[in-house]
Structure 1
Amino acid sequence: MDTSELQRLKQRYNIVGNCDALNRALDVAKQVASTDLSVLIVGESGVGKEIIPRLIHDNSPRKHEKYFAINCGSIPEGTIDSELFGHEKGSFTGAIGESEGYFGTANKGTIFLDEVGELPMATQARLLRVLETGEYIRVGGQKIMKTNVRIVAATNVNMHKAISEGRFREDLYYRLNTIPIQMPPLRDRGNDILLLFSLFTMQIAEKYGMSRITLTDEAKAIMLRYKWPGNVRQLKNITEQMSVLSTTRVIDAETLSKFIPQDKESTQLATTTPTGSHSYESEREILYKILYELRGNVSDLRREMTNLRKQIDDNRTLDNFAAAQQVHALQPATFSPYQDVEAEEIRDGVTTSQNEQNESLNLSDIGRQVVEKALERNGGNRKKAAQELGISDRTLYRRIKQYGLDK
């Protein structure tokens, strides 16, 4: 891509900067736009990765079709499959109608999956199938759906580490990473920092009707030395703070130090105490780890509660069958769907069985017979027997073991 075309591209998407790494990323995006190859954009948070997929879509044969940008990290794990792939009516609580999902709605268009490294493993398997075959199945459905979607993904996660830790599928990574695009961090873009600062001051001055702030040479040197851990997003925030809060329009080193630390290696926005140099980096890391683990624990607890509630309901259903049989045994003989269960008779007001007279049947005995007869009626097929009894396979297996019927 020649210089003039590159400048036109930057003007169209309001991209500021001239560093080689940025120009290379834009050049690759423009070249790959005309194809249907999957693209993976890698870069730290706040570097402007969202510009690339929009550029790719607008310069592709799909530019007149739909474009969706989806933040995978912001969708709850329990609903993300439904959001992406759609669902059938009644497939879960609240599914009052059908949904096509993003992959159905964006057919022939482009989907940008931001923070793709945050996808749950089950969703990754579904996404891999879409990439390989263009096929997917809605949540709660059985029909195979087809879609023709261009996928562009982005992540700020170390994917090789995520793969080694079992948090991301290696095969999916290579499918997404057909064309890799690396977005440079702001600290590596040199004078682009000052160009972006100038752009932001102009935008803020125009928006709020105030005069623009400028930097002294010493302040510019500090800006260039600072690491900018929050990248372009952090630079914009600090520029806004200085524009609104600074009493002077010429920002010198002393004024700048109130908004960013003088230590070029520091990743803090400002010192937190006037004395001492305590850093809260380790505390933040611990807190993030605790919050991450807590989220996982809450998800596990929710699943356990759902399973426990299902087991309780199944046990209640089976016990109700047994109780109904016990009540039936105390009444005059009438037709029952459980006639196969050992017959009983009433003598002198005492319930007796053909095999055991003068002994009342307890719930466990009748429950055992209900399970036995259900298995017999279904030729030993446990799945069918469980469906007949209205309980889960797991509950039936547990009762079979409890009653010693597995021997």
Structure 2
Amino acid sequence: MTEITTVKQRFGIIGNSPLLDRALEVALRVAPTDLTVLVTGESGVGKEFFPQVIHAYSARKHSKYIAVNCAAIPEGTIDSELFGHEKGSFTGAVEARKGYFEEADGGTIFLDEVAELPHPTQARLLRVLQTGEYIRVGSSKVQKTNVRVVAATNMNLQEAIAQGRFREDLYYRLGTVPITVPSLRERPEDIPLLFRKFAADVAVQYRMPAVTLDDAAREMLKNYYWRGNIRQLKNVAEQISAIEQTRVITSEVLAKYLPPQGGGAPMAAGTMRMDDTMSTERELLYKVLFDMRADINDLKRMISELMKGGVPCPEPVRDVKALLPTTAQSSYVPAVASYPQPPVYAESEEVTDEPPREMTKADMQREQIIRALRRNNGRRREAAAELFMSERTLYRKIKELGIEDNS
């Protein structure tokens, strides 16, 4: 039995892809050293396993291992969480507190979503990596720590550097040894194995027969794009196991659980490859455009029903298609014919028949964030997940766009 096979069994890593084996091989080779490691890969590929492997096969394996999700800590408290603070250093600091770097002294600290760190914290982290020194918040005393740092991100750090959101010197210090975790569509041979594992787990947990796939369904599963990677595949396996009564899944049944991505049918990896490094803002704009199109079509249906009921409407219908961005006009399909348009009543009950002003990029982002917050009753975590962004990014957007959030 090879060492990589032993690691897979120990940590529950499934797959035989050469790309996955290469990433594990690099992790095992670098583990005995104290070099800083940067793990990159898309969201949902399982990056969190690699720092665990590195720690378990290092000389620090009997010391502490602390995992920190940098995106989940508010910007105002991130320095205190990482480096600690002194009593009275800020409101609510009723006693001194150790930070994660102090707690993990002699061990390993895993900084997940490291690209979400604010600039001042990036500077503090750079000093720790270079000299092993840090200062608690509210203190002037320099302290030392001996910590192995493993960082991870799903963001393209080169783009973040170009946009001024990430320090270039920190990037080179973190990326002493880079490990790239392959996406699920880059290891299609592993997809049926993973599905079978997730289906078997559900069957054991709820005492039911495990679902299986026929040949056509297996091929569909392998050719799907899997934007959410392993996390999305697990979700699909659990849904099918819980909902479907038949235990042999056909391609027709499977198609119901594979959301269309960019078209009317489930997207295959080989037919339409989307930009892996698509930014959060572009994701948000696409979502805004789809929602706007649905709202416009709903509004035209309402107008049609009003006209059939004999409601007088003196104003002519404006060109709805012209309101859409140029890139969206080619795909615009009117839901109904044009009818005279009555005044539109907004959610605030304010009557308006003013022509809609042209929405800017910031306007569209602001509207989409407000809608997501409303749909989730002000819960930022759920709203951020719906908008395909981290909670920290959502918090920053709320401040930038001047959104009044009463959550």
Indicate conservation of the 8 Å contact 1:34/1:60, yes or no. Answer: yes
Output one character per residue of 1:205-239: Cα deviation in whole Å (capped at 9) or x when no partner: 00000000011111111101100000000000000
Structure 1 pair 170–200 and aligned structure 2 pair: CA distance change class (3 A): same
Q: Conserved in 1, the CA contact under 8 Å of 2:28 and 2:54? A: yes
Relative to structure 2, which stretch is displaced further, 5-14 or 293-302? Answer: 293-302
Aligned Cα root-mean-square deviation (Å): 2.4
Give, as a single letter, the amino acid of the residue that structure 1 aligns with 2:85. H
User: What amino acid does structure 2 have at the position aligned with 1:221?
Assistant: E
Match of 1:264 in 2: 267
Q: Which amino acid aligns with 2:113?
A: E
Distance 1:301 1:241, change over 3 A: closer
Give, in whole Å, the separation in 1 of the partners of 2:266 and 2:400: 43
Shift of 1:296: 2.8
Q: How many residues align?
A: 290
Counterpart residue number, 1:168: 166
- In 2, Cα distance between the equivalents of 1:202 and 1:267? 30
Q: For structure 1, which runs of at least 5 residues remain unmatched after alignment?
A: 269-278, 303-407
| 1:295 correspondence with 2:395 | yes
Question: For 2:253, which of 255, 266, 279 is the aligned residue?
Answer: 255
In structure 2, the residue corresponding to 1:295 is in which secondary structure? Answer: helix
C-alpha spacing 1:290/1:121, structure 2 compared with 1 (3 Å): farther
Deviations 1:178-215 (A, max 9, x none): 00000000011021000001111111100000000011
Q: TM-score, normalised by structure 2?
A: 0.68
Q: What's 1:356 paired with?
A: none
Q: CA deviation at 1:263?
A: 2.8
**1:116 to partner: Cα distance:** 0.3
1:299 and 1:100, CA in 2 relative to 1: closer, same or farther beyond 3 A?
A: farther
SS at match of 1:191: helix
Shift of 1:4: 1.8
- Higher relative CO (Cα under 8 Å, sequence separation at least 6) belongs to 2
Q: How far apart, CA to CA, are the structure 2 residues paired with 1:236 and 1:200?
A: 6
Residue in 2 that maps onto 1:363: none
Q: Percent identity?
A: 55
Report whether the alignment pairs 1:111 with 2:211: no
Deviation at 1:290, TM superposition (A): 5.8
1:42-191 maps to which residues of 2 (within 5 A)?
42-191=40-189
**Per-residue CA shift, 1:303-326, capped at 9, x if unaligned?**
xxxxxxxxxxxxxxxxxxxxxxxx
Letter in 1 for 2:55: H
Greater Rg, structure 1 or structure 2? 1
Q: Matches of 1:7 and 1:263 in 2, distance apart? A: 33
Aligned position for 1:390: none
Report the AA paired with residue 184 of structure 1.
Answer: P
Aligned partners of 1:228 and 1:267 also within 8 Å: no
Partner of 1:23: 21
- Runs of 4+ aligned residues of structure 1 deviating over 2 Å after TM superposition are 261-268, 279-302
3-state SS of 2:188 partner: coil
Structure 2 gaps of 5+ residues are 275-285, 292-360, 370-388, 403-407
In the other structure, the counterpart of 1:324 is: none
- Decide whether the 8 Å contact of 2:288 with 2:365 is kept in 1: no
* Structure-2 residue corresponding to 1:202: 200
Which residue of structure 1 lines up, in the alignment, with residue 223 of structure 2?
225
Question: What letter is aligned with 1:102?
Answer: Y
* Counterparts of 2:103 and 2:273, CA distance in 1: 42
Query: Following TM superposition, by how much is the alpha carbon of 1:149 offset from its aligned partner in structure 2, in angstroms?
Result: 0.3
Contact persistence 1:222–1:264 (CA under 8 A): no
